[in-house]
């Protein structure tokens, strides 16, 4: 039987009643159309034996998603706010009704943020912000404002993968790789030359390198 709990507001978003769904030991699954209060999520994480909290069914506008998960502002970014309440081995994930996912994990003391299928206008800026606020690993896979697929991975402030493509048809380009250049986040915002791979000189060779969603 589901237990209905009502929580206070957070980050300026109006809240509806939140229901705890069926769950296994160590897991808390919350059904809520709007964001629960960070303090109440923290209380769930503080309960004995809890390893994972999942908030699903979030019906948020693009503006609310940007404010709660993509904003470079500690006062509104829920991922940063909740990260300090995760014990080693714990994680929390937020899922919206349109398929966007935002997860924070504490892996042996290192914080990791994974963002999936979200529209992220400034991936580099968001990664810088998260890294500056104690997140050791950042993984962003989604689309930019123009609808281009993007993938950015940062570890300890150093870019490990930075990929994108011009369209979703499989005919686009593979983005530049920060591994080859050893770039760090301090220069992400600067313009730089593309370091795409050279096409083979063999007859019939092409430079097609489709974006891989793994």
Could you give the residue ranges of the DSSP H alpha helices within the chain?
A: 38-46, 62-65, 78-83, 123-132, 178-181
Count of residues in the chain = 214
* pLDDT, tens only, 98-140: 999 999 999 999 999 999 999 999 999 999 999 999 999 999 9
Give the mean pLDDT of the chain: 77
Q: What is the mean pLDDT of residues 77-101?
A: 97
Asked whether residue 4 carries a pLDDT value surpassing 60, the answer given is no
Q: Give every strand in the sheet of 18-20, ordered side by side.
A: 3-5, 18-20, 27-31, 52-58, 91-96, 101-107, 110-119, 135-143, 149-155, 158-164
Q: What percent of the chain has pLDDT over 90?
A: 64
pLDDT band at 165, cuts 50/70/90?
low
Q: For 55-59, 86-90, 161-165, 167-171, which range has the lowest pLDDT when averaged over its residues?
A: 167-171
Quote the DSSP letter at residue 156: T
What are the DSSP E strand ranges found in 109-168? 110-119, 135-143, 149-155, 158-164
Dist CA 176 CA 193 (whole Å): 9
Identify the residue with better confidence: 6 or 136: 136
Cβ atoms < 10 Å from Cβ of 4: 8
pLDDT of residue 15: 38
| N-to-C CA span, the chain | 37
Q: Which two structure tokens, joined as six digits, stand for 143?
A: 């689309």
Quote the DSSP letter at residue 195: -
| CB neighbour list of residue 193: distance below 8 Å, 6 or more residues apart | none
Phi, psi of 81 (to 5 degrees): -65, -40
């Amino acid at each position: 039987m589901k237990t209905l709990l009502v929580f206070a507001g957070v980050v300026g978003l109006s809240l509806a009643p939140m229901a705890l769904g069926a769950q296994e030991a160590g897991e808390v699954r919350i059904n809520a159309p709007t964001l629960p209060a960070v303090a109440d999520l923290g209380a769930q994480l503080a309960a004995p034996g809890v390893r994972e909290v999942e908030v699903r069914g979030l019906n948020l506008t693009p503006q609310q998603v940007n404010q709660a998960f993509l904003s470079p502002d500690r006062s509104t970014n829920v991922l940063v706010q909740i990260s300090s309440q995760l014990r080693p081995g714990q994680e929390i994930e937020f899922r919206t009704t349109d398929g966007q996912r935002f997860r924070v994990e504490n892996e042996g003391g290192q914080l990791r943020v994974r963002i999936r299928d979200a529209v992220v206008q400034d991936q580099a800026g968001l990664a810088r912000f998260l890294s500056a606020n104690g997140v050791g690993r950042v993984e962003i896979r989604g689309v930019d404002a123009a609808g281009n697929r993007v993938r950015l991975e940062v570890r300890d402030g150093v870019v490990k993968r930075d990929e994108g493509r011009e369209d979703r048809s499989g005919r686009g380009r593979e983005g530049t790789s920060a591994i080859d250049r050893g770039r760090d986040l301090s220069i992400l915002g600067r313009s730089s030359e593309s370091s795409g791979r050279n096409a083979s000189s063999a007859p019939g060779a092409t430079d097609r390198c489709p974006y891989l969603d793994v």
